[in-house]
Structure 1
Amino acid sequence: MLKDIYGHFHSDEHHFVDKALDWVERAAGQHVVKLTDFLDPRQAFILNSLVNRNADVHCRFDGGYDAAERRRALIAPDYRVLEGEDMAMAVLSVSSGDGKFLTLEHGDYMGAILGLGMKRDKVGDIHVIEGGCHCLVTQDAADYLHLNLSQVHRVHVQTELLPLEQLQLAKVQLEELHLSVASMRMDGIVSDVFRLSRAKILQPIQAGRCRVNWKLEEDPSKPLKEGDLISLQGFGRFKVLEVEGISKKGRIRVKIGKYA
């Protein structure tokens, strides 16, 4: 059965498949309730797929707000009511009174948190807002971060723990690009978006640094479609917003939304 399950996922995902399958089997066979750390959308998809294979188990996903990207999962026997269960999250508010936050970005906050020895799984979505950021964290990591996070990229900061109701969301900013491409091949579109040559874009793709809809993608020729979210480690991410049509010369017009 495990071999059959593995066939649906990339080899790099098998370790997580093993963990998720163990959570599901424990919920079904031993009536164990499991609250995970934060999962990315691909991990959530894998877990949900495994839960759906077992009629005796169900789960709830929650990232602190409706549109959360990273979410915790609560896995339990099917008879247990999950609505209203405490998902053990807090909002870590990071702020400074010196006005230097204008230059700080998502990666700066993430780097400062990981620099304290914190695992990525303990951190949910990070919202960069005016004067600082609001970060979703697991309850068991909240106090440690509150006490120890005092500097972000050489800027001294203060932290405060807030309830979920006080979470402030960042405004998603997309830079619209209009491309004219010969095909919807991933390597061609990625090279145009990040303004790199095809030759230079092949190396990070084949090195496993590219994901499509959070799934590792090493095939440069993979065709992209409307709605796909592509991320390239070290460069950023973008979304295929619309395939606008075909030009008179037979080229495809594509509208891209590049995340700021």
Structure 2
Amino acid sequence: MLPREDLLAGAQNPEGLTLLVDLAEQVLRTWQPAWSPFLSAPLREEALARLGSLSELTWMSDGGYPGAERQRLLCHRRDDSPDAEPPIQGLLIEGNFLFDPLSPDDLREALQAMGVDADTIGDLWVRGDRGGQGVCTPNAAEALHGRLGAVREVEIRCESLPLEQLQHPVQRSVRTLQTVEASCRLDAIASAGFGLSRAKIVTHVKTGRLRLNWGNVRQASRELVVGDRLQLQDRGSVEVLSLTRTKRERWRVELRRS
């Protein structure tokens, strides 16, 4: 058996991590590889940090396309070479949103209202004013295929798609940039990192589109430190690599944009 208490001690998400410890013990007991449900990015990172060093097990992650935020984990024994083809299916969600702007969260809520569990749904993204696309488990795709639902007053129709037919969100190349700021405030660094005005950054904070280390942030004036990561919906992420005080009492900030 695994040292469960040690693995869970101080966990940020003990409930989610417990499910993954259960999965690991199942793999050790049955010798059969197993996939987790779709996991949030913070839970996946915490799981890999805590469980990745287990001597008998190996973990692989896949979200259906490069750069996916929500991903599934495959757990298998180190001496095993399982078929790593991920059990993930594409999903087309059609609707007329010309006069009713749509967000990924709107799509997620609508799919859950149609009876699929939250952990069977991966990333979802908007495709103009005609609806969106996303990824989910094969069982969820089968349950949703051909069905009608609604986002507010707009009717939607779901269709299962092969992954290769999806039009993935734009993937940004990783680059490093430097800026000099008067402070280490979140709004100042986010403005430089994402190339947006501070006023727009404040708006994104208020609407919940901008997150800090995958969590909600309430104050645009919050001071950032090295290692902090900002995630902005549909705009990628920015990581603080270094903060150096200049002779003029300003801050030279090195960032990684992805």
Question: What's the TM-score once normalised by structure 2's chain length?
Answer: 0.70
One-letter amino acid of the counterpart of residue 136, structure 2: V
Q: Say which of 103, 106, 124 aligns to 1:105.
A: 103
Q: Would the aligned equivalents of 1:129 and 1:169 in 2 still touch at CA under 8 Å?
A: no
Question: What's the TM-score once normalised by structure 1's chain length?
Answer: 0.70
Match of 1:213 in 2: 213
CA deviation string 1:116-138 (max 9, x = no partner): 24322111111212332111011
Match of 1:127 in 2: 125
Match of 1:207 in 2: none
One-letter amino acid of the counterpart of residue 119, structure 1: D
Long gaps (5+) in structure 2: 173-178, 191-197
CA deviation string 1:60-102 (max 9, x = no partner): 21111122111111212222213x4342221111123x56277
Q: Would the aligned equivalents of 2:70 and 2:122 in 1 still touch at CA under 8 Å?
A: yes
1:22 Cα deviation after fit:
1.8
Match of 2:176 in 1: none
- Report the 3-state secondary structure (helix = DSSP H, G, I; strand = E; otherwise coil) of the residue aligned with 2:43: helix
Q: How does 1:234-253 map to 2 (within 5 A)?
A: 239=238, 250-252=249-251
1:162 Cα deviation after fit:
0.8
1:19 Cα deviation after fit:
1.7
Name the CA shift for 1:60/1:149 in 2 (closer, same or farther; >3 Å): farther
One-letter amino acid of the counterpart of residue 34, structure 1: A
Name the CA shift for 1:244/1:2 in 2 (closer, same or farther; >3 Å): closer
CA deviation string 1:26-46 (max 9, x = no partner): 222432432111112222222
Please state if 1:69 is matched with 2:76.
no
One-letter amino acid of the counterpart of residue 5, structure 1: L
Match of 2:158 in 1: 159
Name the CA shift for 1:16/1:157 in 2 (closer, same or farther; >3 Å): closer
Match of 1:229 in 2: 230
Name the CA shift for 1:27/1:93 in 2 (closer, same or farther; >3 Å): same
Q: Would the aligned equivalents of 2:8 and 2:14 in 1 still touch at CA under 8 Å?
A: yes
Q: Distance in 1 between matches of 2:27 and 2:36?
A: 13
Deviating more after overlay: 219-228 vs 25-34: 219-228
Q: How does 1:1-260 map to 2 (within 5 A)?
A: 1-7=3-9, 9-10=11-12, 13-82=13-82, 84-96=83-95, 98=96, 100=98, 103-130=101-128, 131-171=130-170, 183-184=183-184, 194-195=201-202, 212-214=212-214, 223-225=224-226, 228-230=229-231, 239=238, 250-252=249-251
One-letter amino acid of the counterpart of residue 137, structure 1: C
Q: Distance in 2 between matches of 1:85 and 1:242?
A: 33
Name the CA shift for 1:31/1:226 in 2 (closer, same or farther; >3 Å): closer
Q: Distance in 1 between matches of 2:9 and 2:188?
A: 28
Name the CA shift for 1:115/1:57 in 2 (closer, same or farther; >3 Å): same
CA deviation string 1:123-177 (max 9, x = no partner): 111121233211101111112222434322312233221101111112379xxxx
Q: Distance in 2 between matches of 1:5 and 1:188?
A: 37
- Report the 3-state secondary structure (helix = DSSP H, G, I; strand = E; otherwise coil) of the residue aligned with 2:140: helix
Q: Distance in 1 between matches of 2:211 and 2:40?
A: 12
Q: Distance in 1 between matches of 2:100 and 2:118?
A: 24
Q: Distance in 2 between matches of 1:3 and 1:77?
A: 21
